C-alpha cells in the first residue's frame, strides 16, 4: 500500500452515513454482480437483493464513517469518489468499489475513515435487512453460503474493491496549469490524449502566488513552472481549496516550501530529467558564442561592417573546463567537452560512478577548479550550500579571462560580484541562461516597459555577456518529455500514491546539500 498522511474526516452527527440523504433510485444489478460473493446469483436473485439496498447521496467532505465508529452495514459506490484512509495508506474508491462487506455477517467498528471526495451516490444494505432477506429466500442463502466458502472473510473485505489490489481511477480530474505559454499548451493537450488520461486541463496565464492561489479552486491538482511560488501561504490556500497535488513541470523546486506542503498533506512532484542533453548543448552554444564573439560579429555584418577586429577567440582543444555538478546534465556536457579535446576537471559532493571510471575526467576540490579552469560551467541545484558559490572570493581565485557559463540557477552566482569581475576584466565573458531577479522578466515580453532590475540592466551593457531567457531546455523533445512525465506523475497520484510514495516526489527528494542535477 502507498504511504501517505491519513485523511482527516469531519465526524458525522450519528451512526454511519447519517449525513447522507436517502434517494429512491435502485442499485444497478451489475454493480452487485461485480462483487465475488454475489457474482453467481441468478438475475432474479440479484434483482431481489438489489432492491433491498437504500440509495444515498453524501455531501463532499462530510464523513460517511470515522475510524472506530460502529458499523453494521455494507456500502457500494455508484458514482463520485470516496477517500478511505487506513493506517498510513489512502485508497480511492469509485463506481463498483465497496466497504464494510464483513459487517453483513458480523458487525464491528470501522478500521478506517471514509470521506467523500466529490459529490457521490452510494447504496447501503444494513445487516438486519440482509438477514431478513436471506431468511425469506432460502435459495439465495444457499447460493451466498456457497460463494462464501470460496471467499473467506478477512480484513480485506472491509475495504477491498474487486480485486483487492485495485485502486480505482477518477473518471475525471481537473488540473489547473499556471503560467501557461502557447508552446507548452498544445503538447500537454496532445500528451493528455496520447496517454489516454482524459484530464480536464485548465490553462491560466497567471503565475501561482499567494494572490492567485484562489484560482486553484475546483481543481484537484495544480501544475506549476520555475517562477511559480509555493510558499507557506500558498500551501494553506491550496489546502483550503482542496488541492492535494502540486506538479512542477521542471526539475527545480527551490521556489517550493516542501515542509509547508507536507504539513498541509499536499504532495509535490517534479520532472527530474527532461532531455538533459538539450541543456548541456545550450551551455556549449553559450560557451562558443562568447568565445568566438558571435553576438558582436552578427551585429556588425548587419550594419555592413565585415571587419574582424575584436573578434579573436581561442581554440577549445587543450583548454581546461571545470564542471560544477556532474548529474545528467553535467555528464552530457563533459562528453561534449571531451569531444572538443578539452581537459575536464569537475566537482560534486556526489561523484558520478561513470565519470569516476573515465581516466579523462578528474574530480578536484573547488579551489583547484577555480584556479585551473579556463571555462567554468555550472550544473548544480540551488540549495543553501550552493547559493552564491560564485562570489567575490571565488572569482579572485580564478584565472584572468575565465569564461563562466550558467544554465542551472541564477542564485548560484552573486551577480554583483560577477559584474565587478567583468569590469575588472578578471572574467573574460559569461553566458547566462539564468540570473538573479529573472522571474519578472524571463518568459515575458516586456519590451514596452523599463527594466527595473539593476543587475539585469547592467549585464545587458556588456558585449562579452550573452543572456538568454531560461531557454536551455527549450527543444521539442524536452517539451514533449516534460508534458508526458508531468501527466504521468499526476496519474500516479490519482492512482492512490501520496507524498513520499510518489516516484518523483519532491517530498522524498528534498535532502539538502546535493550538488548535481
93 domain residue, yes or no: yes
133 domain residue, yes or no: yes
Q: Which of 317, 268, 277, 316 is nearest to 407 (CA)?
A: 277
Report d(CA 17, CA 62) in Å as an integer: 9
How many angstroms separate the first and last alpha carbons of the chain? 30
Q: Which residue has the cell 500551501?
A: 235
11 domain residue, yes or no: no
Which residues belong to the active site? Answer: 409, 438, 470
Q: Which residue has the cell 512542477?
A: 248
Q: Are residues 437 and 332 in the same domain?
A: yes
CATH of the domain at 42: 2.60.120.10
Q: Are residues 218 and 152 in the same domain?
A: no
Q: Are residues 260 and 204 in the same domain?
A: yes
Q: Are residues 293 and 395 in the same domain?
A: yes
Given a contact cutoff of 8 angstroms between Cβ atoms, the answer to whether 104 and 125 are in contact is: yes
Q: Are residues 309 and 342 in the same domain?
A: yes
Given a contact cutoff of 8 angstroms between Cβ atoms, the answer to whether 56 and 74 are in contact is: no
- Of the pLDDT bands very low, low, confident and very high (cuts 50, 70, 90), residue 400 is very high
Q: Are residues 261 and 357 in the same domain?
A: no
Q: Are residues 262 and 310 in the same domain?
A: no
Which cell numbers in the block locate residue 10?
469531519
- Of the pLDDT bands very low, low, confident and very high (cuts 50, 70, 90), residue 3 is very low
Q: Are residues 232 and 101 in the same domain?
A: no
Q: Give the total number of structural domains in the chain.
A: 3
CATH of the domain at 504: 3.40.50.720
340 C-beta neighbours (distance < 10 Å), count: 16
Among positive and negative, which fits the CA dihedral 350, 353, 355, 358? positive
Q: Are residues 306 and 439 in the same domain?
A: yes
Q: How far is CA 293 from CA 287, 313, 337, 466, in A?
A: 10, 7, 19, 10
- The reply to whether omega before 163 is within 30° of 0 (cis) is yes
Report d(CA 21, CA 431) in Å as an integer: 65
Given a contact cutoff of 8 angstroms between Cβ atoms, the answer to whether 53 and 103 are in contact is: no
Q: Which domain holds residue 240?
A: 174-274+478-509
454 domain residue, yes or no: yes
Given a contact cutoff of 8 angstroms between Cβ atoms, the answer to whether 101 and 130 are in contact is: no
The string of pLDDT tens digits covering residues 359-384 is 999 999 999 999 999 999 999 988 88
pTM: 0.61
13 domain residue, yes or no: no
3 domain residue, yes or no: no
Q: Are residues 32 and 56 in the same domain?
A: yes
Q: Are residues 366 and 442 in the same domain?
A: yes
- Of the pLDDT bands very low, low, confident and very high (cuts 50, 70, 90), residue 183 is confident
pLDDT recorded at residue 228: 93
Question: Final residue of a domain: which of 158, 192, 222?
Answer: 158
Angle between helix axes 294-301 and 276-291 (nearest 10 degrees) is: 60
2 domain residue, yes or no: no
Residues 6+ apart with CB under 8 A from 172: 198, 199, 200
The string of pLDDT tens digits covering residues 298-349 is 999 999 999 999 999 999 999 999 999 999 999 999 999 999 999 999 999 9
Q: Are residues 86 and 188 in the same domain?
A: no
Q: How far is CA 134 from CA 53, 123, 129, in A?
A: 14, 18, 9
Angle between helix axes 127-136 and 138-150 (nearest 10 degrees) is: 120
Amino acid at each position: 500500500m502507498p504511504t501517505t498522511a491519513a485523511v482527516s474526516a469531519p465526524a458525522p452527527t450519528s451512526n454511519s452515513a447519517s449525513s447522507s440523504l436517502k434517494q429512491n433510485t435502485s442499485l444497478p444489478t451489475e454493480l452487485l454482480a461485480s462483487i465475488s460473493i454475489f457474482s453467481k446469483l441468478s438475475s432474479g436473485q440479484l434483482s431481489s437483493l438489489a432492491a433491498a439496498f437504500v440509495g444515498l447521496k453524501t455531501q463532499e467532505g462530510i464523513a460517511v464513517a470515522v475510524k472506530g465508529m460502529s458499523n453494521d452495514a455494507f456500502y457500494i459506490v455508484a458514482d463520485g469518489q470516496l477517500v478511505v484512509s487506513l493506517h498510513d495508506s489512502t485508497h480511492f474508491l469509485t463506481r463498483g468499489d465497496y466497504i464494510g462487506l464483513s459487517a453483513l455477517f458480523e458487525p464491528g467498528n470501522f478500521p478506517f475513515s471514509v470521506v467523500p471526495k466529490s459529490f457521490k451516490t452510494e447504496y447501503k444494505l444494513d445487516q438486519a435487512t440482509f438477514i431478513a432477506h436471506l431468511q425469506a429466500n432460502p435459495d439465495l442463502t444457499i447460493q451466498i453460503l456457497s460463494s462464501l466458502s470460496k471467499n473467506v472473510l478477512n480484513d480485506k473485505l472491509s475495504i477491498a474493491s474487486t480485486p483487492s489490489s485495485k485502486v480505482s481511477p477518477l473518471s475525471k480530474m481537473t488540473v489547473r496549469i499556471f503560467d501557461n505559454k502557447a508552446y507548452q499548451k498544445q503538447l500537454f493537450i496532445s500528451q493528455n490524449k496520447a496517454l489516454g488520461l482524459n484530464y480536464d486541463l485548465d490553462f491560466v496565464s497567471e503565475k501561482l502566488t499567494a494572490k492567485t492561489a484562489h484560482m486553484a479552486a475546483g481543481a484537484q491538482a495544480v501544475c506549476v513552472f520555475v517562477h511559480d511560488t509555493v510558499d507557506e501561504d500558498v500551501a494553506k490556500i491550496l489546502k483550503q481549496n482542496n488541492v492535494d497535488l502540486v506538479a512542477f513541470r521542471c526539475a527545480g523546486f527551490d521556489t517550493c516550501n516542501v515542509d509547508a506542503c507536507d504539513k498541509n498533506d499536499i504532495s509535490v512532484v517534479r520532472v527530474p530529467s527532461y532531455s538533459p542533453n538539450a541543456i548541456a548543448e545550450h551551455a556549449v552554444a553559450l560557451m562558443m558564442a562568447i568565445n568566438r564573439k558571435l553576438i558582436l560579429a552578427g551585429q556588425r555584418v548587419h550594419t555592413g561592417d565585415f571587419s574582424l577586429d575584436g573578434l579573436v577567440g581561442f581554440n577549445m582543444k587543450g583548454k581546461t573546463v571545470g564542471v560544477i555538478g556532474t548529474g545528467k546534465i553535467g555528464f552530457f556536457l563533459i562528453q561534449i567537452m571531451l569531444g572538443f579535446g578539452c581537459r575536464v576537471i569537475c566537482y560534486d559532493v556526489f561523484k558520478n560512478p561513470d565519470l569516476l571510471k573515465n581516466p579523462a575526467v578528474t574530480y578536484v576540490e573547488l579551489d583547484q577548479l577555480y584556479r585551473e579552469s579556463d571555462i567554468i560551467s555550472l550544473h548544480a541545484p540551488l540549495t543553501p550550500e550552493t547559493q552564491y558559490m560564485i562570489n567575490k572570493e571565488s572569482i579572485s581565485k580564478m584565472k584572468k579571462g575565465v569564461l563562466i557559463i550558467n544554465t542551472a540557477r541564477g542564485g548560484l552566482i552573486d551577480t554583483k560580484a560577477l559584474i565587478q569581475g567583468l569590469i575588472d576584466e578578471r572574467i573574460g565573458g559569461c553566458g547566462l541562461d539564468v540570473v538573479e531577479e529573472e522571474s519578472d522578466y524571463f518568459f515575458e515580453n516586456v519590451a514596452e516597459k523599463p527594466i527595473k532590475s539593476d543587475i539585469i540592466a547592467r549585464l545587458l551593457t556588456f558585449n562579452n555577456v550573452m543572456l538568454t531567457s531560461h531557454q536551455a531546455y527549450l527543444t521539442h523533445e524536452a517539451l514533449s518529455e516534460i508534458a508526458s512525465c508531468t501527466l504521468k506523475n499526476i496519474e500516479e497520484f490519482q492512482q492512490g500514491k501520496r507524498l513520499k510514495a510518489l516516484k518523483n516526489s519532491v517530498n522524498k527528494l528534498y535532502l539538502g546539500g546535493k550538488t548535481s542535477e
